[in-house]
Amino acid sequence: MSRINPVTTCVVLGSGGHTGEMLRLVGALNRNLYAPMLFMVADNDPLSVTKAKDAFGPTVHIVYITRCRQVKQPLASTFFPGIISLLQSFAEIFRMRPELILCNGPGTCIPICMAAFVMDLLLFRTCHIIYVESICRVTTLSLSARILYHSRIADHLFVQWPQLQRKYWRTVYIGRF
What tens digit of pLDDT does each residue of 106-137 get? 788 999 999 999 999 998 888 999 999 998 89
Q: How many CA atoms lie within 13 A of 94 on its CB side?
A: 11
For the domain made up of 9-138, the CATH class stated in words is alpha beta
Contact between 77 and 49 under an 8 Å Cβ cutoff? The reply is no
pLDDT for 70 beyond 80: no
Query: For residue 36, is the peptide bond before it cis, meaning its omega torsion is within 30 degrees of 0?
Result: yes
pTM above threshold 0.75: yes
